[in-house]
Amino acid sequence: MKYTLRQLEIFLAVARQGNTTAAAGELNLSQSAVSAALRALEHSYDVRLFDRVGKKLELNLTGQSLRKKAESLLAHAREYDLELARHQYIGHLKVGTSFTIGNHLAVECLASYLAEYPEARVEFDVSNSPDVIARVLNYEVDLGMVENASPRKDLELIPWLRDELVVFCSPDHPLAGKRRALTERDIEGLAWILREPESGARKTFEAAFAPLLPALNVYLEFKHNEAIKKAVEAGLGVGCLSRIVLQKNLKEGSLIPLNLSNKFNLRRTFYFALAANRYHMSAVDNWLSVCKRFPDDLDR
C-alpha cells in the first residue's frame, strides 16, 4: 500500500477547499507540507488528481472517481479508531487468576466491575500462581491475581487481601473436636492431602512447617481445591486450604478446623501481578479500584 491515511485526508481537504493554502489551514499544517504530501500521493501512482484552473485546484475525472472511495475509506478508519478507543473506555480485560482466587473471589469482583462497566468483556484464565505470573510477563493476560509474592524484578506486585490457610479434617477423624493445639508429633503423624508443589497454598504450607517437612507424610496431592476437600471428607487424610475455600464446609460442619500453635504462621497476602514495563490501560486501573473495595482481610 503506497498511500497513507494522512495523504487521503490532505487530498480530500484540497478537494473541498480548492487550494493548498486553505487546506493547510483546515488541517493545521503548513502549505508546503500539504503540497509535498499531495505530490507524493500523485507520484506514487504516476497519476494527476487535480487540474489547475486559474488560482484554484479542481478535481479532474480521476480525482472525482477516487474522492468518494477516499471519503468512505477515511470514514471507516475513523470508525475503527473510535471503536478501539471505546473498547479501552469500556474496559475489556483478560485476567489471569490462581485457582483459589478465580473460583472464590474473581466472580465477586466481576459482578461489581460489570455493574460499573456493563459493556465490558472480561475473560478469566485460571491456573496456579507461577503459571499466572508467566502469562503476565508474556503479555498473555492484562494482569494477574496471585496468592504469593514473587522476587522477579520485571514484575510489579500490588498487595490486595490478607488470607489464612486452615488445617482441617473430616468430622470422623480422631482429632476432630480436639480443642488443644496440634503437637509436632500430631503433625508428623498425619496423612496430608495438599495442593501441588507449585501452588500458592503449598508454598505457604511449606514455609509454615519448614522445620517439620522432612518428617511429614504427604499422602496425596491435587491441583484443585474441591478434590482435596472431597478426599478429606472421605477420611483419607488432613488438608490445608484457604479459609475462603472452606467457609461453607466449616459452617455446615462437613469439615472440621484443627487448632495450631501460633508458631505455625499460615497467614499470607494475595497480590495483583503486573508486568513492570506494561502498556498503561485504564481498564486495569478500573479493575484494581473495584477489587480493592473488598475488606482487606478475608478472615471475616
- Which residue bears the cell 506494561? 278
- Strand, coil or helix: 12: helix
Fold of 93-158+270-291: D-Maltodextrin-Binding Protein; domain 2 (3.40.190)
Beta strands in 98-188 (DSSP E): 122-126, 143-146, 155-169
Q: Rounded to whole angstroms, how far apart are CA atoms 91 and 117?
A: 7
pLDDT at 299 over 70: no
The reply to whether domains 5-80 and 162-267 share a CATH topology is no
Instruction: Give the model's confidence band at 120: pLDDT under 50 very low, under 70 low, under 90 confident, else very high.
Output: confident
Question: 162-267: which CATH number, 3.40.190.10, 3.40.50.9100, 3.30.1490.20, 3.40.50.1820?
Answer: 3.40.190.10
Cβ within 8 Å of residue 219, ≥6 positions away: 191, 192, 193, 236, 237
Helix, strand, coil share (%) of the chain residues, nearest 5: 45, 20, 30
Helices vs. strands in the chain: H and E counts, helices first: 12, 11
pTM comes to 0.67
What does the pLDDT read at residue 298?
A: 54
State percent of the chain over pLDDT 90.
72
pLDDT at 38 over 90: yes
Q: Rounded to whole angstroms, how far apart are CA atoms 221 and 3?
A: 61
What does the pLDDT read at residue 300?
A: 42
Per-residue H/E/C for 247-276: HHHHHHCCCEECCCCCCCCCEEEEEEEEEC
**Residue 276 corresponds to which cell in the numbers above?**
513492570
- Which residue bears the cell 512447617? 209
Q: Which helix (H) or strand (E) holds 110?
A: helix 106-116
Q: Where are the domains of the chain?
A: 5-80, 93-158+270-291, 162-267
User: Which one is predicted more confidently, 61 or 91?
Assistant: 61
Give the pLDDT confidence of 253-292 residue by residue, as tens digits: 999 999 999 899 999 999 999 998 877 778 899 999 999 9
Mean pLDDT of the chain: 90
Tell me the torsion sign for CA atoms 14, 20, 25, 29. positive
User: Which one is predicted more confidently, 178 or 155?
Assistant: 155
Instruction: Give the model's confidence band at 80: pLDDT under 50 very low, under 70 low, under 90 confident, else very high.
Output: confident
| Mean pLDDT of the 177-205 span | 92
Domain 5-80 has CATH 3.40.50.2300: no
Q: Rounded to whole angstroms, how far apart are CA atoms 229 and 246?
A: 8
